[in-house]
Amino acid sequence: MSDSRVAVRYAKAILDLAVDKKATDKVEEDMRAIVSTISESKDLKDMLSSPVISSTAKKEVLNRIFKGGHAISEGLTNLLVDNKRISILNEVALKYIILNEQLKGKDVAYVTTAVPMNGALEKKVLKQVTAITGNEVTIENKIDESIIGGFVLRVGDLQYDASIANKLSNLKREFTNSL
């Protein structure tokens, strides 16, 4: 089973538990903190995916870093460490955020561009995505110079890749297949 499907299952289980305990917003705050902390620290990413570092050490480090989080969030990190799936913590946190936003009738549209989007372009994208999904949408712009130009739009499980890098890759594939 792919890590993505596993992450969704963990995220759904955590969301169900958070709904039962009426703690969805607090757990979402914790998940956002987890995502931002992991994305900012290469050392933390390496530590989480390292098979050399013991589960006990990983659990201790995570409990120190995310001290003061909700019991559900702490339980998730401990569960992932115990099940030897701590390397997907970031993905589980991202999936939780998306599922919780959808539960609230909101969606998050992740727009990856080579350069930051200006306000006018952001409004156009927001208007189109709102029309497509029918939900209230917030935009998160990620910068990735490797896409060269264009954009990659991801809303929930849907993804639209209109990047120059993708178009070049498709051209290359067509060219090599026709030889």
pLDDT in tens, 152-173: 998 877 889 999 999 999 999 9
- Of the candidates 29, 6, 11, the one whose C-alpha atom is nearest the C-alpha of residue 99 is 11
CATH class of this structure's domain 106-178: alpha beta
Which residues are CB-contacts of 91 (< 8 A; sequence separation ≥ 6)? 3, 4, 7
- Whole-angstrom distance, CA of residue 124 vs CA of residue 18: 34
In tens digits, what is the pLDDT along the chain, a chain of 179 residues? 567 789 999 999 999 999 999 999 999 999 999 999 998 888 998 998 899 999 999 999 998 999 889 999 999 999 999 999 998 999 999 999 989 988 888 888 889 999 999 989 999 989 998 888 888 888 888 888 899 999 999 887 788 999 999 999 999 999 999 87
Ramachandran sector of residue 166 (left: φ over 0; alpha: ψ -120 to 50; beta: rest): alpha
Q: Which long-range contacts (CB under 8 A, 24 or more apart) does 98-105 make?
A: 98/11, 98/156, 99/8, 99/11, 99/12, 99/15, 100/15, 100/18, 100/24, 100/27, 100/28, 100/31, 101/138, 102/135, 102/156, 103/15, 103/19, 103/24, 105/135, 105/136
| Domain range annotation of the chain | 3-101, 106-178
Residue 2: the pLDDT is 64
Considering just the CA atoms, what is the radius of gyration of the chain in Å?
19
3-101: CATH topology is: Peroxidase; domain 1 (1.10.520)
Residue 159: the pLDDT is 87
